[in-house]
Chains A and B, each alone.
Chain A
Amino acid sequence: GEDVEQSLFLSVREGDSSVINCTYTDSSSTYLYWYKQEPGAGLQLLTYIFSNMDMKQDQRLTVLLNKKDKHLSLRIADTQTGDSAIYFCAESLTNRDDKIIFGKGTRLHILP
């Protein structure tokens, strides 16, 4: 089946690293995405990784993909108050007309 799982909540102190984890079930996914949703706003594409890569780095963001375990993670270095948001993991399925399946989102809370 098609399923994307993530934990509901993550709390982190400002300046520490955050690691948001995601598991997916469909091995035919081509792209895996991380979206950010700030309070009152829509989804914003943060970064994505092609399924034949295992790592992608973009400034403070590092995406790691373990295709064997179907595990995706987003690491945010030096977490700031502006990183407080809900983060959604998603996968696109080439054998389903590029249908995108979203996880339920991980709420990242920055401790004062």
Chain B
Amino acid sequence: DVKVTQSSRYLVKRTGEKVFLECVQDMDHENMFWYRQDPGLGLRLIYFSYDVKMKEKGDIPEGYSVSREKKERFSLILESASTNQTSMYLCASSSYSRGRGDEQYFGPGTRLTVT
């Protein structure tokens, strides 16, 4: 079974704090993703990584950074948390499939509240 785990299910942080969200997958997948999910807006891609130390901006990278030092781990960093970053954060991973469609496996999500 593919397993994607996220370090916390619930997190409460104060405005201005530095926040780390960790994601680990155990299937040796090349691709990893960070999304946020907000009511009425669906899933929005923040960043993705297609290899160790390689990253690409998604649709809403502002206010976030990422780190992929090891293949199995992809971290999302909020340098200075703000209230508009209160959201559900979802990590996903997928395997390179030679252009035939990458099935993404999602973690359980981290609900972050910034007060």
Q: Which residue of A lies closest to B100 (CB)?
A: A19
Q: Which residue of B lies closest to A84 (CB)?
A: B56
Write out the residue numbers on chain A whose beta carbons fall within 8 Å of the beta carbon of B94: 9, 11
Docked Cα-Cα span, A91 to B48, in Å, equals: 29
Contacts between the two chains (Cβ within 8 Å), count: 47
Write out the residue numbers on chain B whose beta carbons fall within 8 Å of the beta carbon of A17: 99
Write out the residue numbers on chain B whose beta carbons fall within 8 Å of the beta carbon of A13: 98-99
Report the interface size for chain B: residues with CB under 8 A from the other chain.
Answer: 19
Write out the residue numbers on chain B whose beta carbons fall within 8 Å of the beta carbon of A8: 43, 45, 104
Q: Which residue of B lies closest to A19 (CB)?
A: B100
Write out the residue numbers on chain B whose beta carbons fall within 8 Å of the beta carbon of A107: 45
A104 x B42 contact (CB < 8 A): yes
B98 x A10 contact (CB < 8 A): no
Report the interface size for chain A: residues with CB under 8 A from the other chain.
Answer: 18
**What's the nearest-Cβ distance from chain B to residue A76, in Å?**
8
Query: Is the CB of B38 closer than 8 A to any CB of chain A?
Result: no
B56 x A9 contact (CB < 8 A): no
**What's the nearest-Cβ distance from chain B to residue A81, in Å?**
13
A7 x B102 contact (CB < 8 A): yes
B99 x A9 contact (CB < 8 A): no
**What's the nearest-Cβ distance from chain A to residue B92, in Å?**
8
User: Using a CB-CB cutoff of 8 Å, which residues 5-23 of chain A contact chain B?
Assistant: 7-13, 16-21
Q: Which residue of B lies closest to A106 (CB)?
A: B101
A7 x B99 contact (CB < 8 A): no
A7 x B56 contact (CB < 8 A): no
B residues at A contact (CB < 8 Å): 30-31, 33, 42-43, 45, 48, 50, 56, 94, 96-104
A residues at B contact (CB < 8 Å): 7-13, 16-21, 79, 104, 107, 109, 111
A-B contact pairs, 22 of them (CB 8 A): A7-B103, A8-B104, A9-B31, A9-B48, A10-B97, A11-B30, A11-B99, A12-B99, A13-B98, A16-B98, A16-B99, A17-B99, A18-B99, A19-B99, A21-B101, A79-B99, A104-B43, A107-B45, A109-B48, A109-B56, A111-B50, A111-B96
